[in-house]
Amino acid sequence: MSLLQAIVLGLTQGITEFAPVSSSGHLIIVPWIFGWHIVRDPTLNKTFDVALHLGTLLGAVAYFRRDIAKYLKAWTGSVAHRSMQTVDEKIAWAIVIGTIPGAAAGALFESVIEEKLGQPWLIAVMLAAFGVALYAVDRACKSDRRFDSIGPRTGLLLGVAQALALQPGVSRSGVTMTAGRALGLDRESAARFSFLLAMPIIAGAGLMKAIDVAKSGFGGYGTEFLGGFIASAISGFVVIWWLLGYLRRHDYRVFLIYRLSVAVLIFGVIVTGAHSATI
C-alpha cells in the first residue's frame, strides 16, 4: 500500500461515512475497481480499518464537541436523579438506547458479514435498493418533527435501522436518515441524530479493534496509516458541516443519482469481465 492509496481511502472513508452512500461499500469497491492490493495481512487490514474509522470519529467529535458535552452531562444527570425530565435528557437517552441494537448486531454478525456479504454485486444491489428507499420515503413523508422531539422511542427505532447498515452498501447514515424521515423528522434533524448515533458505534468498534492493533503494531505502514487517518478526519468534518447545511435546502435526489450511478458502474465492470463479481 502506498501513501497515495492510503490518503485516497482515507478521503473515501471520511466522505462516505456520513454521506448516505455507504462507507463500508466504498472501501471495498474502490480497491476492487482499481485493482489495488492494499495489505495482504488480514490483521493489518483491520488495523488500517481502525485508523480510518478513528479518523472519521475524530472529525465528528471535533464538529459535535459541544453537543457531546451537553448530552453527556444530561445523561449523567438523568442517571443521578433517576428521571428523564428535560429535552436534552430525552435526546441523550435516545442516543444511548439507539446504540444498543447496532452494537448487539455487530457483536453477533460482523464476522459473518465481512466474510460472506461484502461482494461487489451485492453491494451494488444494496446501493440501488436503499438509495431508492431513501428518496421515496423522503418524498412521501412529512417534516413535522424537529430535533427536540426526539426521545428514547425514536432512538430505539433508528437504532434498529442502524443495525441494518452492517451490510455493505446499505449505509449507516442513509438507513437512519430514511428511518428518521419515516418518523416525520425533518431532513437536517434526521441527519444530525444519525451522526450522533453513529459515534458510539464507531468508537466502540474502533476500541475493540485497537486492542488487536496494540498487539500487532503497524507492520511498517505507520506513515500510510497516519496519512489515511488524517485524510479521513478532515474529510469527515467537512462532510458533516456541508451536509447539514445542504439538507436544510435540498432533498436526497443527488444521493439517489450517485448511488444508482455507482451500482451501474459496478455491474458494468462485472459484465465487461474487467473484474469478477466476487472478491
Residue 34 lies in a domain: yes
Q: What pLDDT sits at residue 221? A: 74
CA distances (Å), origin 4, targets 30, 32, 80:
13, 16, 49
Q: Could you tell me how far CA 223 lies from the centroid of its own chain?
A: 25
Cβ partners under 8 Å of residue 137, min gap 6: 178, 181, 182
Is the residue at 182 inside a domain? Answer: yes
Q: In this structure, what C-alpha cell is assigned to residue 50?
A: 481502525
Only one residue has cell 450522533, namely: 196
Residue 218, Cβ density class (10 Å: 0-12 exposed, 13-18 middle, ≥19 buried): middle
Which pLDDT does position 43 carry in this prediction? 61
Give me the pLDDT at residue 239, please.
97
Rounded to the nearest angstrom, the gap between the alpha carbon of residue 248 and the centroid of all alpha carbons in its chain is 20
**DSSP code of residue 110:** H
Task: Give 83's contacts (C-beta < 8 A, 6+ positions apart).
Answer: none
CA 250, CA 188: separation in Å to the nearest integer? 10
* Residue whose C-alpha is closest to residue 195's, from 130, 147, 227: 147
Residue matched to cell numbers 431508492:
132
Question: Model pTM?
Answer: 0.91
* Angle, CA of 4, 10 and 12, to the nearest 5°: 105
Domain count of the fold of the chain: 1
pLDDT value at residue 214: 66
276 falls within a domain: no
Please indicate, yes or no, if residue 226 is contained in any of the structural domains. yes
Q: Is 185 helix (H, G, I), strand (E, B) or coil?
A: strand
pLDDT score, position 41: 60
Cβ contact 147:89 at 8 Å: no
DSSP 134-173: HHHHHHHS---B-GGG--HHHHHHHHHHHHGGGSTTS-HH
274: three-class secondary structure by DSSP: coil
Whether residue 277 lies inside any domain: the answer is no
Indicate whether 10 belongs to any domain: yes
pLDDT of 40 reads: 58
Per the domain annotation, does 279 fall within a domain?
A: no
Alpha-carbon distances of 7 from 4, 45, 57, 158, 225, rounded to whole Å: 5, 15, 16, 32, 9
What is the residue whose three cell numbers read 480510518?
Answer: 52
pLDDT tens across the length of the chain (279 residues): 789 999 999 999 999 999 999 998 999 999 999 988 765 566 666 778 788 989 999 999 999 999 999 999 999 999 999 999 999 999 999 999 999 998 888 878 767 776 677 899 999 999 999 999 999 999 999 999 999 999 999 999 999 999 988 889 999 999 999 999 999 999 999 999 999 999 998 888 777 777 666 666 666 778 888 999 999 999 999 999 999 999 999 999 999 999 999 999 999 999 999 888 887
Domain that holds residue 232: 3-271
